[in-house]
Homo-oligomer: A and B are copies of this chain.
Amino acid sequence: MAKSGDRARTTAAPALGALDFTLDRSSPVPLYHQLAQQLEAAIERGVLAPGNLLGNEVDLSVRLGLSRPTVRQAIQSLVDKGLLVRRRGVGTQVVHSQVKRPLELSSLYDDLEAAGQGPTTEVVRNDILPAACDVAAALGVPEGGEVTVLDRLRRTHGRPVALLRNYLPASLLDLDSTRLESTGLYRVMRSAGITLHSARQTVGARAATAGEASRLDEEEGAALLTMQRTAYDDTGRPVEYATHIYRASHYSFDFQLLVRP
């Protein structure tokens, strides 16, 4: 069914030898990771152009003084990031431009990073209350059990962009409002020893109520983006349930997907 024979233009292998990789065997950072970082940097800087290259894992490992599995591990990590593509009988290529920075997946990281930076955050509420039914179910605590309810208003350039409501098991940690205004929730949680592992998100839309509209500087009925999220730590226990509202006129979710083979 394919029409044009416009096949993967495989550029002849460029002078890869020009690249000098510096490996420090005494460093605590693993060799495969050192190699991966330097390969990624070379790709980012355009030294490794889209097309063919990285010829031959065996040669590479010999030239670097590493074993092949170690080199493979480095390459594999960049394949997982979507920067490289492997083909049997062909070789390993840098993916053809586009795709830039993999965006580290969706808003979880957005929020996480952006929180401490340009935007400002105002803590509107920070209380411990008995859990309502839906919250209890999401957090896996008994109904009526104590949960921290956190309401925040986030602005960028002085304009409101989002109403963030988060629920956390009250036993998990103390939330310092002052600290939450200068950094993101996830940073606070992380520095309390809570390591996030996964999250389940639902993104939808609906019209703004009068109350939401006034707080977000919108008209009643304006389109809002909604997001619900339950986040789990590395044991699989729920550690956060969030219901967020974003001004659709000022915010959208932007993320990249990789198709797993």
Q: Are B236 and A192 in contact (CB under 8 A)?
A: no
Closest chain B residue to A191 by CB distance? B1
Chain A 198-224 interface mask (CB, 8 Å, partner B; 1/0): 111111111100000000000001111
Selected interface stretch from A53-61, A96-104, A115-123, A158-166: A96-104
The interface residues of chain B lying within 8 Å CB-to-CB of A134 are: none
Give residues 73-124 of A contacting B (CB, 8 Å). 82, 85, 93, 95-99, 103-106, 108
**Given A171-B3, A194-B2, residue A256 in contact with residue B201 (CB < 8 A):** yes
Assuming A108-B259, A225-B205, A248-B206, is B2 touching A197 (CB within 8 A)?
no
Bound: A147/B32 CA distance, A: 43
Chain B residues within 8 Å of A172, by CB: 2-4
25 of the cross-chain contacts (CB-CB < 8 Å) are A1-B174, A1-B191, A1-B193, A2-B172, A3-B172, A3-B174, A8-B235, A9-B235, A95-B235, A98-B238, A104-B260, A106-B257, A108-B257, A197-B258, A197-B259, A198-B257, A200-B257, A202-B254, A203-B225, A203-B252, A203-B254, A205-B223, A205-B224, A205-B225, A207-B222
Q: Are A2 and B193 closer than 8 Å at their CB atoms?
A: yes
Q: Which A residues are closer than 8 A to B by beta carbons?
A: 1-4, 6, 8-9, 50, 69, 82, 85, 93, 95-99, 103-106, 108, 140, 171-174, 188, 191-207, 221-225, 230, 232, 234-238, 248-249, 251-260
- Min CB distance A200 to B, Å, is 5
- Which residues of the partner chain B approach A251 to less than 8 Å between Cβ atoms? 204
In the assembly, how many copies of this chain are there? 2
> B202 touching A253 by the CB < 8 A rule?
yes
Known contacts A4-B171, A85-B234, A172-B3: A252-B204 contact under CB 8 Å = yes
Bound Cα distance A82, B196 (Å):
12
Question: 9 closest A-B pairs (Cβ-Cβ)?
Answer: A96-B236, A204-B252, A205-B205, A205-B248, A1-B192, A95-B236, A4-B171, A203-B253, A223-B223
Of the candidates B96, B207, B253, B257, the one whose C-beta lies within 8 Å of that of A223 is B207
* CB of A213, distance to nearest CB on chain B (Å): 13
A197–B81 Cα gap in the complex (Å)?
11
Q: How far is the CB of A199 from chain B (nearest CB, A)?
A: 5
- Complex CA distance for A99 and B231, rounded to whole angstroms: 9
